[in-house]
Structure 1
């Protein structure tokens, strides 16, 4: 569903990503580990068509997002490290607004409310102003947006950064649910524990190069920590 072929991004003499080859199937959770500047965020931005590759290509469900921007965008959801909502709008009002921007208009309140509950937002918060929301609650509104849109792929950049353990656990629960429903998930993270628990496959990046990939089930948490630290030196 998400595919990179010899994907490269350079900024003058600096190569941010070098010849990445990657394929993430429906229902698979692929987690990228790496130090800051390793190329994780660059990879996600290329899949989202936020930036153009220097060479190589991205495929979303078989289509190049440069040639088919509207169609490929409709298949993808994105959760950045910091989620911004309109503070004066409630959770359900934010969801309705962002869904309408994505072409999902005239949605019944029940469907929006059900999506927010499915994402883990407390029922008491649905009609509260987003100005009072925690980071985890804001993320749940964006997850609800992915549920409403029925995305085929979900890209996440450091989504559990700053979350307390309970919020991180709830976040992982919803991602597993989306994976079970066939959504292909690409996540960049520093959180080794969450990565070990959530990922189908893990990739380690260093200086723009994907240096190793392996199945999550093949390593313990300690082995993952040791391997990541060794490869990221």
Structure 2
């Protein structure tokens, strides 16, 4: 559903992405871990067609996003800060977003999507300026549900969330994957990556250093592997 084929990108004389290759299948969650400047956000921007690659292809459902605009109809992007209309309530925001996508939705469909995200009924008619980041994310994810998105791109989604909100977020994303969405998330959050991902890519200086199967990977092993690859050091967890 999501495929990077030899993707490369430079800005001026700086290589920010170097021959990137990976796939994300329907129902699969892939997380990219890496420091700032590793190339994670550039990867998302290439799939969003915000940037054009110097070489290679970014494919959604087999279509090159840079030559086929219809690929955008299959994805929803959730940035670190969800940019919705602060003066609108959740229902009005979703009605407006649906209209931009030429979707006809009823209040019942909107409320059903919000039910799936766990946004409380009492909050739905309040303006979003009173919402926490976690609540705004739920509105954004509700739109992905309404749109029946086949691909979800997430940029640092748990940054600034408390542990309870992070657990709620993880549960919602797992539900979307179980419905068949292909999900690509970039993050610094080891816990979220380890809890959610089927596979985890470690990036540094524009290169995908390794792609790990997360099925039998402990969080301690993940952290050690990350630090060994990035800085040549390992992390030893102290028992609490």
Confirm or deny a common fold (TM above 0.5).
yes
Deviation of the 1:200 alpha carbon: 0.2
Correspondence for 2:137 among 117, 139, 157: 139
* Match of residue 42 from structure 1: 42
Shift, 1:84, TM fit: 1.7
Equivalent in the alignment of 2:153: 155
- Distance in 1 (CA, whole Å) between partners of 2:230 and 2:43 is 17
RMSD: 0.8
How far apart are 1:218 and its partner, in Å?
2.7
Pairing of 1:3-42 with structure 2 (within 5 A):
3-42=3-42
Question: Which ranges in structure 1 are unaligned for 5 or more consecutive residues?
Answer: none
Hey, which bits of structure 1, 4+ residues long, moved more than 6 A? none
Alignment of 1:102-113 (within 5 A): 102-104=101-103, 106-113=104-111
Displacement of 1:66 in angstroms is 1.3
What is the CA–CA distance in structure 2 between the aligned matches of 1:44 and 1:84, rounded to whole Å? 17
How many residues of Structure 1 are paired with residues of Structure 2 in the alignment? Answer: 231
TM-score by length of 2: 0.95
CA distance in 1, matches of 2:143, 2:102: 12
* Cross-structure match for 2:171: 173
User: Separation in 2 of the partners of 1:181 and 1:67?
Assistant: 28
| Corresponding residue number in structure 2 for 1:73 | 72
Aligned mates of 1:65, 1:145 — CA distance in 2: 21
2:223 to 212, 225, 232: 225
Write the deviation string for residues 152-193 of structure 1: whole angstroms up to 9, x where unpaired: 000001000000111111111010001111100000011101
Q: What TM-score, normalized by structure 1, do the two folds share?
A: 0.97
CA separation in 2, counterparts of 1:120 and 1:210?
A: 35
SS at match of 1:27: coil
SS at match of 1:18: strand
TM-superposed deviation, 1:109: 0.4
